[in-house]
Structure 1
């Protein structure tokens, strides 16, 4: 089999006659951001091809809200290891029937190690299949060994190389749709800054609670940024409204002149009698659809967030970011560059409650039941140095 240079891994010979490509990637917004560089590679290697994402409702909504290299989305039914929820045999049969009717030439598996996703993908019955596989996974036509600690966008590019597609982009690139950009001022009103003030967007949430930096720490950064002249907007979905409110409360209601202890802020910068909170720090959590969220992130001068979908989305939209990361997650999903993106790492290796080794993760590793933060020890003062630099304050 022909191998060429120029890829993350070996770039194999292209398949003949490929014009319809299916790409399997479930999960959240961040998971899709990891897959998009591979989509760009496949589109370049197979000019004129259409790439259909086998994804989630959130992915379908994002496709409607932004300009992406994808052509369309087929929403996955609930299936073990592919999309959570009770399986419905009729829904699965309908999905696979519709997928087979499209007669895909190539199906690409970017959804984990393949124990569940490879058998799922094979039921699409594409002419060719590529993807990653753990030792117990059903092999595809061309397979990459799955190792947990690998940068996810890089893994996706390596899988694309199996189909003969070298990289054209190393990270996802998106643009918000014009109608959402135009509607943002009317929707948010006073939450948006004047043109002479930089905009800092904070996202204090994450699906995994262990990735949560304390609301008090986000609040301390928000207070400092507001005092230095920025407008601060806290985002989140409808499940994160209380968390966002806690950040605003920490920013507006905290006493002044405090210091940080053990990584947790006990006060903000001295204000000299001036208010650092008020209307300069506000929450829009639960108020934005994906279109409005994308428009807001694209407008931000800096985004501070945990390792979460909105942070990855902000990066794809071109916003400078400061990310709060547990070190292991930075290996798999951190930004590559540091000119526009900064990363603050927690090097915690054991659960703070039971002492379990949290570095043993992946498809075979047991997980302790505790959700205590692994990143709480990151100092807000250190984070604000990078936030302030990106804001130009």
Structure 2
């Protein structure tokens, strides 16, 4: 950052978004922590993401619940709760708050109004804002989500030591997973999504799950408790009986589950970012038309299919075969030439 604020002691980070959004910001925040190893870094986000942030204890010292605000759809607005949130931010007296939520059209004014004069760094669209505050940069409405935040770190003069998304796992995560009797040699399929418009049709998921089962893999259907209905729907459409773990795992257990798996098949949702962070092979069906922004960057280990452009089930099946069962082609060649 600029020379006059190099000795930061207390940094706030505002990103009141969901699982995948937060994971995409972690590489940038890791570089921030490397640049300011002794600073107190406080994450300000949705109450539902507290457990996720607490997994990253090496990056964050504390968590502050965001109360909601008009124009931000992630949670309802309550004036009394917001007043307490603003008082809390004022009392914190951050040296700087990084606005890593979005382009700044709503959030920047909110943070300035309720942070007690803390400096705001991050993204903006307004030319006036950008001219008045050198800690703001034009919002990069292009490229992968994680690289947008890397660009912000560069703008603030922070050296980039890593660009990799990562996901902490602990021994206890694997121990608790063991109580579910998952076994070995399985593929995870996640058919839910926060928005129904981002869900691949259940009959396609069921057909693909049976295809994987015919390759001698156990099928594990993952999801949250809110996604249990669509998970059960997919299971009912399958010919083979899957193991349904929707609603039975937490963030640590699902990470351990993925780590031991052959791979993941999912919509473009939070779990696809966990798989990418854990270097677990995956096939992602993107339903939002933004695979270049939200799909895994590593295309050797992960394949994202833009369903809005190529709604072709046979293509998905072929990609699954190439990504998750590549040894089969090799074995067939050996037999043919043997």
Classify the TM-score, shorter chain.
Answer: 0.7 to 0.9
Q: 1:339 to 1:56 in 2, by over 3 A?
A: same
Which residue of 1 is the match for residue 122 of structure 2? 131
**2:290 aligned counterpart, secondary structure:** helix
Q: Which runs of 5+ in 2 are unaligned?
A: 330-338
**Quick check: 167-176 or 22-31, which moved more?**
167-176
Does structure 1 residue 173 correspond to structure 2 residue 153?
Answer: no
**Quick check: 238-247 or 107-116, which moved more?**
238-247
- The alignment's TM-score, normalised by the length of structure 1, stands at 0.75
CA offsets 1:59-78 (integer angstroms, 9 cap, x no match): 21113456662332211002
Q: 1:16 to 1:95 in 2, by over 3 A?
A: same
Q: 1:308 to 1:171 in 2, by over 3 A?
A: same
Which residue of 2 is the match for residue 214 of structure 1? 201
CA offsets 1:161-214 (integer angstroms, 9 cap, x no match): 22221322223211223222211111x22xx123xx2x2111112223332222
- Return the match for 2:280 from 319, 329, 346: 319
**2:5 aligned counterpart, secondary structure:** coil
Superposed, which structure 2 residues align to 1:48-197 within 5 Å?
48-65=38-55, 69-82=59-72, 84-122=74-112, 123-125=114-116, 127-135=118-126, 138-139=129-130, 140-186=133-179, 188-189=180-181, 192-194=182-184, 197=185
Structure (1/2) with the larger helix percentage: 2
Q: Which runs of 5+ in 1 are unaligned?
A: 1-10, 253-276, 349-374
Which residue of 2 is the match for residue 377 of structure 1? 312
Whether contact under 8 Å (1:12, 1:163) holds in the other structure is yes
Does structure 1 residue 246 correspond to structure 2 residue 237?
Answer: no
Whether contact under 8 Å (1:17, 1:105) holds in the other structure is no
Consecutive aligned runs of 4 or more in structure 1 exceeding 6 Å deviation: 390-393
Q: Distance in 2 between matches of 1:137 and 1:313?
A: 38
Shift of 1:86: 3.7
Whether contact under 8 Å (1:237, 1:285) holds in the other structure is yes
> Larger RCO: Structure 1 or Structure 2 (Cα < 8 Å, ≥ 6 residues apart)?
1
Shift of 1:376: 4.5
Shift of 1:315: 1.6
Superposed, which structure 2 residues align to 1:16-55 within 5 Å?
16-55=6-45
Alpha-carbon RMSD across the aligned residues, in angstroms, is 2.6
- The alignment's TM-score, normalised by the length of structure 2, stands at 0.86
Whether contact under 8 Å (1:114, 1:138) holds in the other structure is no
Shift of 1:49: 1.9
Q: How many residues matched?
A: 325
**1:175 aligned counterpart, secondary structure:** coil
Does structure 1 residue 293 correspond to structure 2 residue 284?
Answer: no
